[in-house]
Amino acid sequence: FSITQPFCVYKITGGLAQKVAGVGTTGDTGDNGPALAASIRPVWGLELDSLSNLYFVQSASNFRLREIFGPLP
C-alpha cells in the first residue's frame, strides 16, 4: 500500500507494515538506486508480478511508471 504523505510505499507481512520505497519527500529521484533512497510522488496504482517485481504509477501530473525489482525486502 502507499501513503500520499510521507510519499512512501509499504508492504504488509504478518500484520506489520514495512517501508519498501521512498524517503518521505515528493519527487522523481533515485532511479537505478535503492528504492528506500528514492523520492516518489503520490502513487495511483500498485501491481506485483510473478517474479515479485513491484510496479507503480505515480502522480496524476506525470503518470510515471516506476519499478522495484523483487523480491521486496
For the stretch 13-70, pLDDT in tens is 899 999 999 999 998 899 999 999 999 988 888 999 999 899 999 876 778 899 999 8
Contact call for residues 10 and 3 (beta carbons, < 8 A): yes
More confident residue, 72 or 18: 18
The answer for 61, left when phi > 0, alpha when psi is -120 to 50, beta otherwise, is alpha
pLDDT-derived band at 4, boundaries 50, 70, 90: confident
Report pTM. Answer: 0.84
- Cis peptide, bond prior to residue 73, ω within 30 of zero: no
